[in-house]
Structure 1
Amino acid sequence: MPEKILCIEDEALLLEDIVEELQDAGYQTLKAANGKEAIETLKYETVDLILCDIMMPLVDGPTTLKLVRERLPQHDEVPFIFLTAKSTREDILVGKKMGVDDYLTKPIDYDLLLATIKARLSQVHRIKETNEARLKRIYNALKENHAKEPLSIALVAPSYKYVKPIEQALMDLGCLVEFIQEEHLSVRRDAVEKNDLVFLVYSKIVHYYLTGLINTQTTHGRGKMVLLNKGNIEKTLRDAFVDLGIGQIIDYPYPPVAIFKAILEATQNKS
Structure 2
Amino acid sequence: MPEKILCIEDEELLLEDIVEELQDAGYRTLKANNGKEAIEILKYEAVDLILCDIMMPLIDGPTTLKLIRERLPQHNEVPFIFLTAKSTREDILVGKKMGVDDYLTKPIDYDLLLATIKARLEQVHRIKETNEAKLKRIYNALKEDHSKEPLSVALVAKSHSYVQPIENALQDLGCLVEFVHEEHLSVRKDAVEKNDLIFLFYSKIVHFYLSTLINTRTTHGRGKMVLLCKDNVDKNLKEALLDLGIGKTIDFPFPPVEIFKIILEATQNKV
For Structure 1 versus Structure 2, the TM-score category normalised by the shorter chain is 0.7 to 0.9
Change (3 A) 1:236 1:268: same
Aligned length in residues: 235
**1:224-261 Cα shifts (integer Å, max 9, x gaps):** 11100012332222122212221010000000000111
Match of residue 175 from structure 1? 175
Q: Conserved in 2, the CA contact under 8 Å of 1:224 and 1:247? A: yes
Change (3 A) 1:118 1:252: same
Matched position secondary structure for 2:129 = helix
Q: How big is the shift at 1:88?
A: 7.7
Q: Which amino acid aligns with 1:78?
A: L
Match of residue 149 from structure 1? 149
What is the percentage of aligned positions where both structures have the same residue? 46
Matched, 1:30 2:27: no
Change (3 A) 1:102 1:150: same
Q: Which amino acid aligns with 1:130?
A: I
Q: How big is the shift at 1:181?
A: 0.3
Q: How big is the shift at 1:205?
A: 0.8
TM-score (norm 1): 0.72
**1:45-92 Cα shifts (integer Å, max 9, x gaps):** 754xx696x6xxxxx34465245413332x2x322223x7x4589633
Structure-2 separation of matches of 1:67 and 1:204? 23
Q: Conserved in 2, the CA contact under 8 Å of 1:146 and 1:173? A: no
Q: How big is the shift at 1:188?
A: 0.4
Structure-1 separation of matches of 2:220 and 2:19? 57
Matched, 1:103 2:79: no
Structure-2 separation of matches of 1:213 and 1:164? 26
Structure-2 separation of matches of 1:126 and 1:108? 24
**1:73-122 Cα shifts (integer Å, max 9, x gaps):** 2x2x322223x7x45896334433454742323993335x7656655654
Structure-2 separation of matches of 1:192 and 1:119? 47
Change (3 A) 1:103 1:166: same
Q: Which amino acid aligns with 1:255?
A: P
Matched, 1:187 2:167: no
Structure-2 separation of matches of 1:11 and 1:142? 51
Structure-1 separation of matches of 2:158 and 2:130? 32
Structure-1 separation of matches of 2:3 and 2:251? 25
The residue correspondences of 1:1-271 to structure 2 (distance < 5 A) are 10-11=12-13, 29-30=22-23, 46-47=27-28, 60-62=33-35, 65-66=38-39, 68-73=41-46, 75=47, 77-82=48-53, 86=55, 91-97=60-66, 99=68, 101-105=81-85, 108-111=106-109, 118-119=115-116, 121-147=118-144, 148-271=148-271
Structure-2 separation of matches of 1:78 and 1:219? 40
Q: Which amino acid aligns with 1:30?
A: Q
Q: Which amino acid aligns with 1:138?
A: L
Change (3 A) 1:241 1:206: same
Match of residue 74 from structure 2? none
**1:191-210 Cα shifts (integer Å, max 9, x gaps):** 11100110000111111111
**1:166-216 Cα shifts (integer Å, max 9, x gaps):** 111111221111000001000001111100110000111111111111111
Structure-2 separation of matches of 1:69 and 1:184? 34
Match of residue 34 from structure 1? none
